[in-house]
Amino acid sequence: MNLLLVTLFLPLIGFFIILLLPRNSKAPFTAALLITLATFLASLGLIGPVVRNGSQVSSAVDWLWISSPSMQIHFHAGIDGINLWLVLLTTLLLPVAVWMTNSVIAEDRRKPFFALLLLFEFGIVGVFSVLDLFAFYVFWEVALVPMYLLVGSFGGPQRVAAAMKFFVYTMTGSVLMLTCILYLHHLAGTFDYLEIYSRLASGQAVLGPEQQLLLFLGFFAAFAVKVPIVPFHTWLPATYTEAPAPATFLLAAVMSKMGTYGLLRYAVALFPAGAHHYARGIATLAIIGIVYGALLALIQPNIKRLIAYSSVSHLGFIVLGLFTFTQQGTDGAVYQMVAHGLSTGALFLLAGYLEQRRGSMEITDFGGIASSAPGLATAFLITLLASIGLPTLCNFIGEFLVLQGAALTKFSWAVWAAIGVILSAAYMLWMYQRTFLGKPNARNASFPDLRGADWISILPLIALMVWLGCYTQSFLPPISAATSRILEQNRQNEEYRVQLPTQVTELRHER
Amino acid sequence: MNLNLWLIPLFPLIGFVLNGLLGKRLPKGAVTGIALGSVAASLAYVAFVFSQLWPLTGAHTEHYFTWINSGFLNVGFDFTVDRLSAVMLAIVTGVGFLIHIYATGYMAGDPGYYRFFSYFNLFMFFMLVLVLASNLLVLFVGWEGVGLCSYLLVGYYFTEDFATNAANKAFIVNRIGDFGFSLGMFLTVFLFRTLDFGKIAASVSTMPAEAGVGVLTLICLLLFVGATGKSAQFPLYVWLPDAMAGPTPVSALIHAATMVTAGVYMVARVSFLFSHAPRAMEVMAIIGLFTAVFAATIGMAQNDIKKVFAYSTVSQLGYMFLGLGVGAYSAGIFHVMTHAFFKALLFLGAGSVIHGLSGEQDLRHMGGLRKAMPITCWTLFIASLAISGVPGFSGFFSKDEILAAAYAHAPWMFWVGAITAGITAFYVFRAWFLAFFGTYRGHHHAHESPLVMTGPLMILAILSAIGGFINVPEWLAPLYSAPEAGHVSVMAISATMGLLGIVIALFLYVIRPELAERAKKAAGPLYTLVENKYYVDEIYQDVVVAPIEGISRFLLWRGVDEALLDTVFVNGSGRFVRSIGGLLRQLQSGSIRNYATWVLAGSLLVIFFIGLFGGVR
């Protein structure tokens, strides 16, 4: 039995099972937890083959899905070093989200929540694992719908406006991508990613510079909104703040990786000339995002909004790493996708527990709670330290490699981006001080600490933050194997790099 | 030969984990046992390692695992012991152990006893990693880790705003330094393709003298920026005086004896780079010298006993960088060692006074304590003699090495340094006289501290007195060329300066106390300027912090993010689409007569265009 199929379709089956279960009972929770845990266990089986050879696709599935004379759409999925850890991150965080939902969402509303979580898992795992452009687009939208519903029906007071902005904004980007997918099909005659990729690699198919620029921009539009890259980020603070805690947790930890993953897998890998051509501009945007997000995080009065802007800043590192076109930068970017998922996810998880206990996310409503909730304060501090890139914790590895890659490509990039590292300490520690330290006021004097059940959700994440930070040999080699292949491919297509669009138009005039 | 060097930092790490997780439930004796036992184990293991490697002429490196491997970059988790790290290992474990013992007395009544010692042990772990590291990145692990522990321990009294503010300041200012450090690392990788000290040293030695001078100078300057953060040099020294908000053993261990010397150690570690970058060395010498004078003058006008010693630490670290900058690496490390002895003693003595006075830190509320606290008084006297550079005491030897090297490099540096030595002697003895002489001006009942506290004081007093006879420069001779031999007149001048400072302090604060007030008045605005630390904190607040906050809040958040991007572009495009829709909606009026009108108008238009472009002839 193919474990990827299990990982992918078990959540979908679970979605239907939960719909059949009674509303006000423990059953939906039990079912959701068991299904997500089973999915996680199944996904663990994906590791072995990839670790043996990270540059090759393993656990592959290839079915003919829709067949017509003009186009063949396959359901083609597989795992390699680039998506392995992202799939595992997703399957690991879903049980955590289910667990968290059970304690922060009112009982009579849990059933649809669990159902939507499972549908979301199906969509996200699909996005990360499919290798057919059309199927990719389908899953891209499938993942969007449950998240839209989660934000729109379970969120805060401004939830409808936030959900609408989130949906329309991301949709606008993805429609451009769809157009480009169809155009690419027109050029290549297939939707199959590996097919296109190997034809380009072997020189059987050639995308001219103009085509690459166009296709790159179309894909980039969808991914840039999804990441988001500044200035396409304004949906993010609103959505993250209004979304219910488990949804914010998944948005930040998993969903933001759809964009960065897409950038690497599709935009950079398929259209190297386009990527190289726009690299300077995109890296500049990424760096602006790093500094800008950090500066805005400095002065946010709301904990969720603060973490949201810090997320914008951290995601800038990932994008920067991808567009250094160095082994270090690309490895760092992929590593940072996982590390950011863990650390920012855990921050939102703990923020969710804070919100549940105080009914607010305004920093001024907190203060001095370390005295009565030392466990929560300690867990938050460790997570925060991971987030600001303390060595021995996960984000450091990613940030170090990204900045190293940036320094090798263009030293000034590293200089500007490293300012974000300074600022991250400032905004996080100021928030921590105002929230947890100081003398508690009367309301916060007996703030409930984390319970045993809460610890179950946070401890695995903390353990992984330490593991990723201390022993990268467990995770990095398959990533390196896969990214080095893409970079190698990029170098082979170097001939297009020198051709600027101005020269291209001149050529056409001559004709 | 595999010596399992990793055991050295492992013991305190175990102590941290045990006390951190279980300390709350353990009896106090067990917490003490774990905390002291783990450091004692490290100390013993260090001694064992030395006995195995004696006489340690080369470097002993052990590889444990590949930490990061990406492309050509391969960073191993490797430890090295050579003569340089041996000095630091001895200081960190030895002085660290004494301060741990002292802290069991000082913190005895504190409800967070276990928490304090788990942090203290964690600090030992990271400090030992820093010292043992055999590449820049592992060193950076320790470097950031000790910074974290500094944050935790400065903010130990976390319900107090002064403590948490100081903790944040310490971490954030250090981050600015780390910004330089990490950029220095990136450039090192760019130039050498490795972060390994041994490999970098090898490739530097084969490089022609002029090659890569620009990049090398930049690397050294950036690494030095890191050092100015961690070792509190101008302009990043501002966190260290505030860091005195932590319990006094913390000030002694972290902010005097060990962590703040990490910058000096790091520069000495990569001396092979600095030797190729004379300009960076010049900058380092000048910054060090300037910091030494600058902080010493502030130290003259502080009334908090810990603040006096804090500025003194900043100033003494300046001396160390002066030494490094003029090429006397071994003299700099020598001063690290003697400073660890006498400055730890000064702080522990100050802690003993504070402990004896139930928390009083203000020198104006002390006085005449020498009868109530004889051991504290006379051990502090020895420390004061040592830091003042009185011949025969430890500080004299190391400071003299530095000043001699400075004289050989540029005589004006020597003169500034010698005058600073006089100022140093003055402010240290001012504090000593104010605390222990005259009449008691406070209202607490003073008592001498228990033996667990005075014991370490006495041991450190012995080390402060005779520590100068441990010939560190000779020990380090295989690593660094021997510094200039001290010229007799150089020695005489610096010693005279020190004695002069002591005499002036004696005159102003014991013989004619009323003169001190008059001198203060005579200095007028100058005194106010110094008393307020040249308003550097206020300048930083107004020039750096406030503008960043203002720009972020008003220009970026309210302006760019909310008004421009969100309202104008995002919602604006939504509104634009909607208004077009609204306009087109007008057509769908539902009235048959309107539709008929449109049909007619359309038909006429079609006929008109067909006629115009000649469709029908």
Could you write out the three-class secondary structure of A239-268? HHHHCCHHHHHHHHHHHHHHHHHHHHHHHH
Closest chain A residue to the Cα of B178, Cα to Cα: A422
* Whether A430 contacts chain B with CB within 8 A: yes
Q: Which residues of B fall within a CB distance of 8 Å from A313?
A: none
Distance (Å, whole) CA A79 – CA A95: 21
- The strand pairing partners of A131, in sequence order, are none
Q: Which of residues 460-479 of A touch B (CB under 8 A)?
A: 471-473, 476-477
What is the pairing mode between strands B60-70 and B73-81?
antiparallel
Average pLDDT of the segment spanning B504-524: 83
DSSP letter for each residue of B481-522 = PPPPPPPHHHHHHHHHHHHHHHHHHHIIIII-THHHHHHHHH
Choose the closest CB to B183 out of A332, A371, A418. A418
Smallest Cα–Cα separation from B551: which of A334, A423, A78, A136? A423
Provide the pLDDT confidence category of residue B331 given band limits of 50, 70 and 90. Answer: very high
> Per-residue pLDDT tens for B108-153?
888 889 999 999 999 999 999 999 999 999 999 999 999 999 999 9
Radius of gyration from C-alpha coordinates of chain B: 31
> Per-residue pLDDT tens for B465-477?
999 898 888 888 8
Distance (Å, whole) CA A306 – CA A252: 13
> Which of B10, B70, B139, B140 to mutate against chain A (most A CBs within 10 Å)?
B70
Tokens 């959540």 locate to A11
| Cβ atoms of A450 and A378 closer than 8 Å | no
Q: Which of residues 267-296 of A touch B (CB under 8 A)?
A: 292, 295-296
Kindly state the tokens that stand for A444: 């916060």
Q: Which of residues 160-199 of A touch B (CB under 8 A)?
A: 165, 168-169
Prediction ipTM score: 0.91
Q: Which long-range contacts (CB under 8 A, 24 or more apart) does A183-189 make?
A: A183/A214, A183/A215, A183/A218, A184/A133, A184/A215, A184/A270, A185/A71, A185/A133, A185/A134, A187/A211
For residue A65, the surrounding DSSP H or E stretch is strand A58-67
| Cβ atoms of A139 and A216 closer than 8 Å | no
Choose the closest CB to A296 out of B140, B145, B552. B552
Distance (Å, whole) CA B299 – CA B322: 19
- Between the CA atoms of A146, A152, A154 and A155, what dihedral angle is there, to the nearest 10 degrees? 120
Average pLDDT of the segment spanning A486-509: 54
Provide the pLDDT confidence category of residue A497 given band limits of 50, 70 and 90. Answer: very low
CA distance B165 to chain A (A): 8
Choose the closest CB to A234 out of B71, B160, B566. B566
A494 has a pLDDT exceeding 80: no
> Which of A298, A459, A462 to mutate against chain B (most B CBs within 10 Å)?
A298
Kindly state the tokens that stand for A389: 């890139």
Percent of chain A with pLDDT over 90: 64
**Which residues, other chains included, contact A113 with Cβ-Cβ below 8 Å and sequence gap of 6+?**
A101, A105, A150, A154, A244, A246
A499 has a pLDDT exceeding 60: no
* Whether A307 contacts chain B with CB within 8 A: no
pLDDT for the residue numbered B267 = 95
Rounded mean pLDDT of chain A?
Answer: 89
pLDDT for the residue numbered B265 = 96
DSSP letter for each residue of B543-577 = IIIHHHHHIIIIIIIIIIIIIIIIIIIIIHHHHHH
> Per-residue pLDDT tens for A56-73?
888 888 888 888 887 788
Smallest Cα–Cα separation from A123: which of A15, A25, A215, A49? A15
Choose the closest CB to B164 out of A168, A296, A438. A438
First and final C-alpha spacing in chain B = 105
Choose the closest CB to A480 out of B65, B70, B179. B70
Which of A338-342, A502-506, B111-115 is least confident?
A502-506
Kindly state the tokens that stand for A194: 């590996």
Cβ distance B69 to A472 less than 8 Å, yes or no, reads yes
Which of A125-134, A379-388, B202-211 is least confident?
B202-211
> Per-residue pLDDT tens for B355-397?
888 888 998 888 888 888 999 999 999 999 999 999 989 999 9
Distance (Å, whole) CA A91 – CA A83: 12
For residue A64, the surrounding DSSP H or E stretch is strand A58-67
pLDDT for the residue numbered B485 = 64
Rounded alpha-carbon distances, angstroms, from residue B125 to A488, B4, B50, B122, B542: 41, 15, 19, 5, 38
Longest dimension (CA), chain B: 126
B75 has a pLDDT exceeding 60: yes
Smallest Cα–Cα separation from B247: which of B310, B155, B148? B155
| Cβ atoms of B174 and B181 closer than 8 Å | no
The residue that leads in pLDDT, B349 or B520, is B349
Distance (Å, whole) CA A335 – CA A479: 8
For residue A102, the surrounding DSSP H or E stretch is helix A84-104
> Which of B21, B63, B68 to mutate against chain A (most A CBs within 10 Å)?
B68
Q: Which residues of B fall within a CB distance of 8 Å from A327?
A: 70-73
CA distance B147 to chain A (A): 10
Q: Which residues of A fall within a CB distance of 8 Å from B65?
A: 471, 473
| Cβ atoms of B139 and B130 closer than 8 Å | yes
Average pLDDT of the segment spanning A460-474: 95
Cβ distance A421 to B179 less than 8 Å, yes or no, reads yes
Kindly state the tokens that stand for A95: 């049980």
Neighbour-count burial of A2, counting CB atoms closer than 10 A to its CB (0-12 exposed, 13-18 middle, 19+ buried): middle
- What's the whole-model pTM score? 0.92
CA distance B549 to chain A (A): 7
Phi, psi (degrees; rounded to nearest 5) at B196: -70, 125
Cβ distance B179 to A418 less than 8 Å, yes or no, reads yes
Distance (Å, whole) CA B43 – CA B40: 5
Which of A133-147, B239-253, B540-554 is least confident?
B540-554
pLDDT for the residue numbered A502 = 42
CA distance B121 to chain A (A): 17
* Whether A372 contacts chain B with CB within 8 A: no
Cβ distance B71 to A331 less than 8 Å, yes or no, reads yes
CA distance A387 to chain B (A): 14
> Which of A330, A392, A401 to mutate against chain B (most B CBs within 10 Å)?
A392
Choose the closest CB to B172 out of A425, A438, A477. A425
Kindly state the tokens that stand for A102: 């059970």
Q: Which residues of B fall within a CB distance of 8 Å from A472?
A: 67-69
Cβ distance B161 to A332 less than 8 Å, yes or no, reads no
Please count the CA atoms within 13 angstroms of the CA of B125 that sit on its side-chain side. 22
Cβ distance B175 to A426 less than 8 Å, yes or no, reads yes
The residue that leads in pLDDT, B310 or B515, is B310
Q: Which residues of A fall within a CB distance of 8 Å from B72?
A: 327
pLDDT for the residue numbered A59 = 83
Cβ distance A292 to B556 less than 8 Å, yes or no, reads yes
| Cβ atoms of B306 and B385 closer than 8 Å | no
Q: Which of residues 107-166 of A touch B (CB under 8 A)?
A: 165
pLDDT for the residue numbered A507 = 39
CA distance A465 to chain B (A): 15
B424 has a pLDDT exceeding 50: yes
Cβ distance B159 to A368 less than 8 Å, yes or no, reads yes
Cβ distance A327 to B140 less than 8 Å, yes or no, reads no
Rounded alpha-carbon distances, angstroms, from residue B156 to B145, B308, B309, B423: 16, 21, 20, 33
Average pLDDT of the segment spanning A354-380: 90
Smallest Cα–Cα separation from B103: which of B253, B243, B249, B256? B249
Sign of CA dihedral A274, A276, A281, A282: positive
Cβ distance A234 to B561 less than 8 Å, yes or no, reads yes
Provide the pLDDT confidence category of residue B348 given band limits of 50, 70 and 90. Answer: very high
A503 has a pLDDT exceeding 80: no
| Cβ atoms of B191 and B219 closer than 8 Å | yes
